[in-house]
Amino acid sequence: MPALTLPSPADQDTSGGAPSVCVVVPIPNDPPWELFDAIPAHIPIIVSDDSDGRLAPSPRPNVYYLDYAAQQAYAGRHYAAMPHKSAASRNIGHYVAWKEGFDVIVALDYDCQTRAGWLDTHLAALGKQTDAPAVRPRLAGGWVNPIEQTFPAGDPVYARGYPYEWRTPALAATDATTVDGDVALNLGLWDGILDLNGIDKLYAGEPGDPGVPAGPNRVALGHIPICGMNTAFVRELTPAYYFLPDVTVDNWPLSRHDDIWGGYVVKRLMDLRGDLLAYGGPVVGHTKQTRLERVVVLEQWMHLLSVPFYDLVETALTEVTPGEYAPMFAHLVEELHRALATSTLPTHYRAVFTELGSWMSRWAEAVQ
């Protein structure tokens, strides 16, 4: 096998305090590379190659492919924490960018159109913020919906992963406020094909516009569904930001939970440490829609299992203390296994959560 060539933060000009940046894109088949034209040429792109080496070479410079053999060579025994054949295939790219020392990692899906100012908007949203606009749920344990749009009939449009249990005007109510602090993760949104639950689109259609308000990004002071297709985060957060793999529940698929459940974990650890999550720009153009009937099947167990998973995370969090993200995540996973050992959930629920917990344990070991 030829020597693995990787990008280095030392190749970037970080004078004046500018961070080193790496973009990570999971790619299962050849994308239209013009989608990434707004990414500056000096910014490296790590491709988490989920085709196992069948991708054609990129027409742009500064692209680094990691097929399965390269992933295994780099990660060694920690390759067991790196899933394939799902959106969670991006974990290896995040891992490499983190290990190589990049200050900021930007996660992008291969079917997203970047636009002028895309990277600058992400970077401006990270770091120290003063009097930042913020959105706080009116009820304890409430959720922030990053989409401000309605369907033609007037019903609110909720982002994928926003729990149906909270979808009433009273439960979903929020208030505007301001906050000071450090933003560790910026959630960029998308237009064209919005990231909604499949059943919502079958019922009400495709609104196409997320309704991002003008002005600076806002901070979510509550739970928020985190879509992983267009996010930027600081290096220190990487050990806690793990995308969960696809598994099965009694031979039925559990999918499209990878970023939502992994996002719930990382957001709760950020809350515990006092770091902030912002959302809004930059907006990318999402260009691909999987057949909705298939999406509904893939998501059904996500809807059924989300609240039980969140309850387990909340139980585990009661034993975790603020600190560095790697030991916080590892402690959370240990407590998650303890909570499962005494859980009264149905057997097949516990089996799924135990399997996912094993993946999380392997990731925790990889990032120590």
Count of domains in the chain?
A: 1
Using alpha carbons, select from 116, 128, 121 the residue that is nearest to residue 106. 121
Q: Averaging pLDDT over each range in 1-15, 199-213, 315-329, which range is the top one?
A: 315-329
Residue found under tokens 């990731």 = 363
Q: Which residues of 106-130 are buried (b: 16+ CB within 10 A; e: fewer)?
A: bbbbbbbbbeeebbebbbbbbeebe
In the prediction, which pLDDT does 283 show? Answer: 97
Residue 144 tokens, joined: 């922030």
**Looking at the predicted structure, is the pLDDT value of residue 198 above 90?**
yes
Average pLDDT over residues 197-214: 93
- Please give the model's pTM, rounded to 2 decimal places: 0.97
CATH number at residue 246: 3.90.550
**Looking at the predicted structure, is the pLDDT value of residue 98 above 80?**
yes
Using pLDDT thresholds of 50, 70 and 90, give the confidence band for residue 199.
very high
Share above pLDDT 70 across residues of the chain, in percent, rounded to a whole number: 99
Using pLDDT thresholds of 50, 70 and 90, give the confidence band for residue 4.
confident
Residue 153 lies in a domain: yes
Q: 212 with 148: CB under 8 angstroms? A: yes
Residue 1 tokens, joined: 């096998």
**Which residues does residue 254 pair with via DSSP β-bridges, in sequence order?**
247
Average pLDDT over residues 103-120: 98
**Looking at the predicted structure, is the pLDDT value of residue 216 above 60?**
yes
**Looking at the predicted structure, is the pLDDT value of residue 178 above 80?**
yes
Q: Which helix (H) or strand (E) holds 305?
A: helix 292-317
In the prediction, which pLDDT does 60 show? Answer: 95
In the prediction, which pLDDT does 123 show? Answer: 98
Residue 324 lies in a domain: no
In the prediction, which pLDDT does 36 show? Answer: 98
In the prediction, which pLDDT does 214 show? Answer: 85
Using alpha carbons, select from 1, 115, 123, 119 the residue that is nearest to residue 53. 1
Residue type, 209: D
Average pLDDT over residues 331-336: 98
Using pLDDT thresholds of 50, 70 and 90, give the confidence band for residue 153.
confident
In the prediction, which pLDDT does 192 show? Answer: 96
Angstrom distances, CA of residue 311 to CA of 202, 242, 315, 317, 331: 29, 18, 6, 10, 16
**Looking at the predicted structure, is the pLDDT value of residue 330 above 70?**
yes
Residue 129 lies in a domain: yes
In the prediction, which pLDDT does 134 show? Answer: 98
Average pLDDT over residues 92-121: 98
Tell me the pLDDT tens digit for each residue of 258-278.
999 999 999 999 999 999 999
Residue 274 lies in a domain: yes
Residue 248 lies in a domain: yes
Tell me the pLDDT tens digit for each residue of 48-94.
999 999 999 999 999 999 999 999 999 999 999 999 999 999 999 99
Which domain range does residue 108 map to? 9-299
In the prediction, which pLDDT does 50 show? Answer: 97
Residue 353 lies in a domain: no
In the prediction, which pLDDT does 2 show? Answer: 55
Residue 178 lies in a domain: yes
Average pLDDT over residues 94-117: 98
Residue 235 lies in a domain: yes
**Looking at the predicted structure, is the pLDDT value of residue 152 above 90?**
no
Average pLDDT, the chain: 97
For the chain, strand residue ranges (E) read 21-27, 45-49, 63-66, 104-108, 112-113, 127-137, 174-192, 218-220, 230-234, 247-249, 252-254, 276-286
Cβ atoms within 10 Å, residue 74: 18
Share above pLDDT 90 across residues of the chain, in percent, rounded to a whole number: 96
In the prediction, which pLDDT does 1 show? Answer: 45
In the prediction, which pLDDT does 38 show? Answer: 98
Average pLDDT over residues 289-312: 97
